[in-house]
Amino acid sequence: MYERYWKEMGEKTTLVISGWQSISYFSDLTNLCWFLEPSFADSVLRLHKLVGNAVTQDRHIVVGTGSTQLFQAALYALCPPNGSEPMSVVSAAPYYSSYPLMTDFLKSGLYKWGGDAHRFSKDNNNNNRRPYIEIVTSPNNPDGSTRRAVVNRIDGILVHDLAYYWPQYTPITSPADHDLMLFTVSKSTGHAGTRIGWALVKDKEVAKKMTKFIELNTIGVSKDSQLRAAKILQAVADSCDRGGVGSPEEGQATFFEYSHNLMAKRWNQLRAAVEKSQLFNLPEFPCGFCKFSAQSFQSQPAFAWLKCEGEMEDCESLLRRWRILSRGGKHFGDTPKYVRISMLPRDQIFHLFTHRLSTIQS
């Protein structure tokens, strides 16, 4: 979906790295995260300040090979090394389907997947209080809901995955102010293949341990990728400074205007197709005031959490018969009545998808 915008930006985001540049393992030995490129850190701080979606003051930035690596680094860093039992890692269903897979892949003795946070909360009463880490994803993948922690125990540890807390997807109501927040260029700018994410971490010791994990895992994070991500994030921030009413380049949409408008168009198109078919249901989202764009709108998430109405039990199989590929609800800790569909493919695929969906009859 983002490809067209970046094509239109042309040379503004071209980066040339000569053979002699960024050779060393090291980026900044004065920084706790010694492989963090200063220009990448600057671009992260600039963009958060501009968008107002996260508090960066008194936070350590840890860069990762996607927020996927940072998720694993966070689990390693947050678990006591000598705990009597593995920490339970929980998240409210429907949750991002990779969380259980990433958590249990290496069969760590430090942590294990604990499933749906609602169920964990019920099962862990006063007599049975297992230690836990809750992943709070807001807006959530797959259903786009705005979320808060659900277990709410004083001894609980939270990780906030804010991959989608950007103004093309949801109103920015206040700067997120949590102990450990994860972001990624995959969802903010569309550069999933660059494999760059960042964590904003309050606690110095946690940030140090996350850095240690990445040191042992991959001896740092690609400098080439960090430099490219810095260029892209600076271009996004430049577009916001330049664009908009009254600016020298008035009329040119900023990155967030462009992507917000495209998401709005796609959600309208999807809702029209769903209405035409009458076999499906989509979540409704409350209206919120976005402090960044100074307008009220409903969330328009990167995924549609589509429900098959009526007798239909397996929505994924039904859609496959109509040549639509989706991911069934079971992967997300929910029933097969639901599927997750990406709202971010290229135009042609998205048009084909909504056309096919609108023609499905009972």
Ligand X SMILES: Cc1ncc(COP(=O)(O)O)c(C=O)c1O
Binding site for ligand X (CB under 6 A): 66-68, 96, 137, 141, 161, 163, 184, 186, 192, 197
Alpha helix segments (H runs only) across 114-254: 117-123, 185-188, 204-218, 223-242
User: Which lies closer to ligand X via its Cβ, residue 291 or residue 327?
Assistant: 327
**Angle, to 10 degrees, between the axis of helix 223-242 and the axis of helix 255-277?**
90
Cβ–Cβ contacts within 10 Å for residue 305, how many? Answer: 22
Report which residue's Cβ sits closest to ligand X: 66
Overall residue count recorded for the chain in this entry: 362
Q: Whole-number minimum distance, CB 237 to ligand X, in Å?
A: 19
Q: Whole-number minimum distance, CB 262 to ligand X, in Å?
A: 18
Q: Whole-number minimum distance, CB 97 to ligand X, in Å?
A: 9
| Residue 179, helix vs strand vs coil | coil
User: Which lies closer to ligand X via its Cβ, residue 76 or residue 318?
Assistant: 76
**Distance of alpha carbon 207 from alpha carbon 209, whole angstroms:** 6
User: Which lies closer to ligand X via its Cβ, residue 141 or residue 170?
Assistant: 141
User: Which lies closer to ligand X via its Cβ, residue 124 or residue 170?
Assistant: 170
Q: Whole-number minimum distance, CB 351 to ligand X, in Å?
A: 23
Cβ–Cβ contacts within 10 Å for residue 203, how many? Answer: 15
Q: Whole-number minimum distance, CB 63 to ligand X, in Å?
A: 11
User: Which lies closer to ligand X via its Cβ, residue 196 or residue 273?
Assistant: 196
Q: Whole-number minimum distance, CB 181 to ligand X, in Å?
A: 12
Let me know the angle formed at the C-alpha of 200 by 196 and 202, rounded to the nearest 5 degrees.
155
Q: Is 254:244 a contact under the CB 8 Å cutoff?
A: yes
User: Which lies closer to ligand X via its Cβ, residue 142 or residue 156?
Assistant: 142
User: Which lies closer to ligand X via its Cβ, residue 94 or residue 167?
Assistant: 94
- Strands across the sheet containing 157-161: 60-65, 196-201, 180-184, 157-161, 132-137, 87-91, 111-116
Alpha helix segments (H runs only) across 96-179: 98-104, 117-123
139 preceded by cis ω (within 30°)?
yes
Q: Six-digit token pair at 223? A: 């400098």
Q: Six-digit token pair at 152? A: 């709410």
Q: Whole-number minimum distance, CB 139 to ligand X, in Å?
A: 9
**Distance of alpha carbon 94 from alpha carbon 303, whole angstroms:** 13
| Residue 221, helix vs strand vs coil | coil
**Distance of alpha carbon 95 from alpha carbon 101, whole angstroms:** 12
User: Which lies closer to ligand X via its Cβ, residue 46 or residue 160?
Assistant: 160
User: Which lies closer to ligand X via its Cβ, residue 183 or residue 267?
Assistant: 183
Q: Whole-number minimum distance, CB 70 to ligand X, in Å?
A: 8
Q: Whole-number minimum distance, CB 20 to ligand X, in Å?
A: 29
